[in-house]
Amino acid sequence: MFTLIDLPYPIDALEPVISAQTLSFHHGKHLQAYVDNLNKLIPGTEYESMTLEEIVIASSKPVPEPVEGPARKAIFNNAGQILNHNLYFTQFAPRHSRLDLSRHSRLDRESAPTGPLKAQIESQWGTLEAFQKEFVAKGVGLFGSGWVWLQADAAGTLSIGQYPGADNPVAHGLRPLLTFDVWEHAYYLDYQNRRAAHLEALWGILDWSVVERRYNKQ
Ligand code: MN
């Protein structure tokens, strides 16, 4: 049985980038529904004893009849969405409380990569800003619902992945490091149709130390 993850910050901690209202629906309703659905789908199947990552990888590939069918796709979609949201919600941290804003500019408080991840981004994109620009452009350019990812291969080489629906880099043999959710439920209450503005604002609450830990964990 899978359970809903706890948010590692208060429900209003990411405002104004992600409002408490958006977060309460996104975590408490959307993610909860994926967890409930998966828990109904997997009992009695080969997926029952697997980890979330194992379920996503196994259910991403067609299997012989009679197991193959709509159930596998439903399992992939719900397991994928749980894995995606678990990675998404745990990569943020409040950056600028009201007190901090009185003393620091936003840029002073923004997190940035260091160490091997910083070196790798700069070797592939030149600057962090160039990487961020391409990442947001790929999120904006993803048609319909999906996720944009920073992902790494076994050698540590980075790439930006655009996947529709519930797909995740683990289904492509890659490690997920950072992701922006471009499903409308992630931003519509706060930004309506302004997806680009929302994605650009997410840099302000991204905790790069989380992304680095994912990168350094080979
Ligand atoms: Mn979502």
Whole-number pLDDT of residue 107: 42
The CA 102 to ligand 1 mean position distance, Å, reads 32
> 155-171, pLDDT tens digit by residue?
999 999 999 999 999 99
pLDDT of the residue at 106:
47
Residue among 42, 67, 80 at smallest CA distance from 170: 80
Distance separating alpha carbons of residues 63 and 66, to the nearest angstrom: 9
161: DSSP letter: E
In the chain, the amino acid numbered 17 is V
| pLDDT score for 49 | 94
**What's the pLDDT band for 137 if we cut at 50, 70, 90?**
very high
Of 169, 120, 121, 127, the C-alpha closest to 148 is 169
**C-alpha 79 – ligand 1 centre gap (Å):** 13
Distances (CA, A) of 84 to 130, 182, 203: 24, 12, 18
The Å distance, Cα 126 to ligand 1 centre, comes to: 31
> How far apart are alpha carbons 214 and 204 in whole angstroms?
19
Mean pLDDT, rounded, for 109-116: 84
Each residue's pLDDT tens digit, 32-89: 999 999 999 999 898 999 999 999 999 998 766 555 566 889 999 999 999 999 999 9
Which has the minimum average pLDDT: 58-62, 95-99, 116-120?
95-99
Output the pLDDT for position 166: 97
C-alpha span between 75 and 79 (Å, rounded): 6
The average confidence (pLDDT) of the chain is 91
- Collect residues with CB below 5 Å from ion ligand 1: 181, 183, 186
